[in-house]
Structures are given as C-alpha cells and as structure tokens.
Amino acid sequence: MARSGARRPEPLTGAAPGSARVWYAAYGSNMNLDRLVCYLAGGRPSGGAREYPGCRDRRRPARAVPVLLPGRLYFAFESRVWTGGMGFYDPMDPGEMPARAYLLTAGQFSDVAAQEMHRAPGPDLDLSGVLATGRARLGPGRYETLVCPGVLDGYPVLTFTAPWRSAEAELNAPSAAYLGHLSEGLAAAHGWSEARIAAYLGSRPGARTGRSAQ
C-alpha cells in the first residue's frame, strides 16, 4: 500500500477548470525535488549530461503531495541526458502509477514542459485543449503530449508523455543514475522502502530486458 496521504485526482467529468496554478504530476526523475529544481532554477542534475536554463519564475513549488495516477510507467528509447531508457506514462495501461504532484504556476509548468521538449522556456503553453479533453498533442516528440488525469483541490493535474502506447514503444532499460533519481523521489514522496522501490521499478516494461512486464 502507498503511504497514508497518497491521493487520487478526481476523474474528469467535463472540462477541467482553468487556473493560474496547476499540479505538475512528475513520475520520472522529477519526483526527486533536487532534480526538479534544475528545471525551475537552472542547473545540471547529478549524473546528468545537460545544463538547464530554468524557468522565468524560479521559485520552488508551493506544495508537493504524493499521488496515484491511473496507468503505468514504462521505459523506452534513449535519453540524451542520462543514456539508457526514459520514463514515460501510458494512462491507458492497467494499474496505478505513483507520482509526485507539485503545485506550480501555469507559467512554471509551461517552462518545465518546454525544457523537457528541448525548447527554450518562454511563452506559456495553450492548456485549453488538455483541460477540455484530458489530452492534447502539442507535437510529435517524446514529451510533447499533455495529459490531465483529473483535478486535485480544485487545480488541474497535468503531466506530459509520448503520444504512443507502451506496447508500441521501443523499450529500453534505464541507466543507474536515472533510476537513482526515481528511487529518491519515490522514497521522499511515498515513503517506500528500498526493497519495494526496487521491485516496482524492476517490474516496469522495459526495465530489465526490454520486454514488457506482465
């Protein structure tokens, strides 16, 4: 079981409310706050190969809470930052995925997403599509599809992933440095033991041999 306090967003029954603040649901290395700060304030994460410019608004998140999202984490393709596979979210897969939701301004979320998309931070993203339908494809890239799994405390929960399903992806095992950030994030957000974290990450599609976990 997840640590007491892990929350599930309220499912969308219509368009999510527009807001100056949004929850950014991190499910990969950004579950580790120290790594996320490199997106917010600029810098190079431990074990990473890329320097990030940071957001226009460099403040830390107003809040951080553990969440459970419908779907599953998988590892695929080759990271330019970590080498090895990158984490992606398939909201249509069975199960629940632990994540860490950070309360950011809409501008901060836009700038974090831009850096994940290998774009320069700057103009705010148009969130109207993802808030209306729960999903919006901004481009063909690996993190250019926005997903809104629901609403938490009146704010929309947003994240980004690839446009394809996990079964269509070129699965690839992640690097030890990348897994280290995921492990630290899961421990900090959900209070999981090392054994549970290892079992969870090792069972994700692509984690070991590139074959999908059952």
Work out the burial of residue 53: count CB atoms within 10 Å of its CB; fewer than 13 is exposed, 13-18 middle, 19 or more buried.
middle
pLDDT of 46 higher than 80: no
Mean pLDDT in residue range 179-196: 96
φ, ψ for residue 131, nearest 5 deg: -70, -25
Torsion of CA 106, 111, 117, 122, to 10 degrees: 110
Under the banding of pLDDT at 50, 70 and 90, the label for residue 75 is very high
**pLDDT score of 210:** 46
**pLDDT score of 45:** 78
Exposure string over 99-137, b if 16+ CB within 10 A, otherwise e: bbbbbbbbbbbbbbbbbbbeeebeeebebeebbeebebe
- Alpha carbon distance 144, 140 (integer Å): 6
Query: 194-202 and 176-190 are packed helices; what angle lies between their axes, rounded to 10 degrees?
Result: 130
Q: State the Cα angle at 81 between 75 and 83, rounded to 5°.
A: 55
What architecture is the 21-202 domain classified under in CATH?
A: Roll (3.10)
Alpha helices for the chain (secondary structure H): 33-41, 106-116, 128-133, 176-190, 194-202
- Alpha carbon distance 71, 12 (integer Å): 15
Exposure string over 163-190, b if 16+ CB within 10 A, otherwise e: eeebeebebbbbbebbbbbbbbbbbbbb
Under the banding of pLDDT at 50, 70 and 90, the label for residue 49 is low
Amino acid at 145: T
SS3 204: coil
DSSP category for residue 13? S
pLDDT of 211 higher than 70: no
CB 182, CB 29: distance < 8 Å: yes
* Mean per-residue pLDDT of the chain: 91
pLDDT digits (tens, 9 = 90+) for 89-99: 999 999 999 99
Q: Which position has the higher pLDDT, 197 or 45?
A: 197
Q: Which position has the higher pLDDT, 100 or 51?
A: 100
**pLDDT score of 213:** 44
Mean pLDDT in residue range 92-119: 95
Mean pLDDT in residue range 163-181: 94
